[in-house]
Amino acid sequence: MAGGRLSQWGNALYSGEKTYTIVQDRKKWLTLSTALVLLSVAVLVFKGLNPGIDFRGGTEYTISGVTTLDTQIAFDVIAEEVPGDTPRVTTVGSNSIRIQLGAIDQDEVLRVAAALATAYGVPDDNVTSTSIGPTWGANVSAKAIQGLVIFILLVAVVIGLYFRAWRMAVAAIVALLHDLVFTAGIYALVGFEVTPATVIGFLTILGYSLYDTVVVFDKVRENTEHLTAQSRFTYEELANLAVNQTLVRSINTSVVALLPVASILFIGAVVLGVGTLVDIALVLFIGMAVGAFSSIFVATPLEVLLRTREARIVAHTTKVLAARESGAADVAVREDGTVRVGALRPGQHLGSAAQPQRKRRK
């Protein structure tokens, strides 16, 4: 029953019978997105991200096979052995504890490891340590930033060449930056640790967001391919139709993608404890949700905002509105501002109605 209603809703959106004024309300959505991005930037500036040991350098201990997950024991040991250092202590699964602290020399590393083994009552072999120097951490940070910059530049080139429209490339890049900054802002606000797995997750969500945006843009291009050959619909209306026609697909894709990621996040956090699995699942969950929002409410509305300033589009819009005022256009404008088509042929939808009809040969 629910599936049937969803199908009917999707068909109504695709045909133009039902329309949400997403593009027409672009000022509202873009203002909201701008406010969220500025808030995220403020959080990043004043609070900052919480870099993992791979980025900041330091020493990490993993104690396995413990009979108690009391983290206070670890705090007491570090306070005694390394005064002045505030460690980060987390549980991993049901019988392991992870401890991260600043850089210490090799003698201190061995002494702290022995003290932790004694305190938790485990063999010395159950305590492993990893030391990462500040130079290594700086190199990892530089490579992560380099990867993000190269990805964004390649996206701009590919989008520009594929659609042959720089405005779509700009809108796609802005949507990607929106997703990146907003997700990073959430990380900074909550204090999630940023690890190399988090960076991999960032690149993954950018690819997911780009894919969803390209699908919508492709529909926009299809609907507006012969824009000036007709005088029934404006560029804004046909672009809004494209968003509505792909709305159900975007929602379904997002839900299908988020469900397994949520399962991985739950299993990683509850069953296995913190670790690489949780790091990558967490950023994927946040980023996919934000990416679904930006592909619908940011990318296309911004592209239309840029496009409607073209002289060609302005002239065509004026022509369409004048035709409606004179009653020459076979359309009806609803009270909410959306357009209802009159006298569509069977199997025809709003997008195809905007295409010029070829004369049939006798």
Query: What are the tens digits of pLDDT across the range 325-349?
Result: 776 555 555 555 555 544 334 344 4
pLDDT beyond 70 at 250 = yes
Residue 78 has pLDDT above 50, yes or no: yes
φ/ψ of 17, rounded to 5, equals -65, -35
CATH 3.30.70.600 boundaries in the chain: 58-132
Q: Give 32-39's long-range contacts (Cβ < 8 A, gap of 24+).
A: 32/297, 33/178, 33/294, 33/297, 33/298, 36/182, 36/185, 37/178, 37/181, 37/182, 37/185, 39/185
Higher-scoring residue by pLDDT: 330, 5: 5
Q: Model-level pTM greater than 0.85?
A: no
What does CATH list as the number for 13-51+136-313? 1.20.1640.10
If pLDDT is split at 50, 70 and 90, which confidence band does 262 have? confident
Which class is 58-132 in CATH? alpha beta
Outline which parts of the chain fall under CATH 1.20.1640.10: 13-51+136-313
- 45: pLDDT strictly greater than 80: yes
3-state secondary structure of 99: strand
Task: Give the range with max mean pLDDT: 201-205, 250-254, 341-345.
Answer: 250-254
- The mean pLDDT of the chain is 79
Q: Give the DSSP H/E element, type plus range, for residue 352.
A: helix 350-353
User: So what's the pLDDT on residue 251?
Assistant: 84
User: Which residue type occupies 292?
Assistant: A
Write down the pLDDT at residue 361: 46
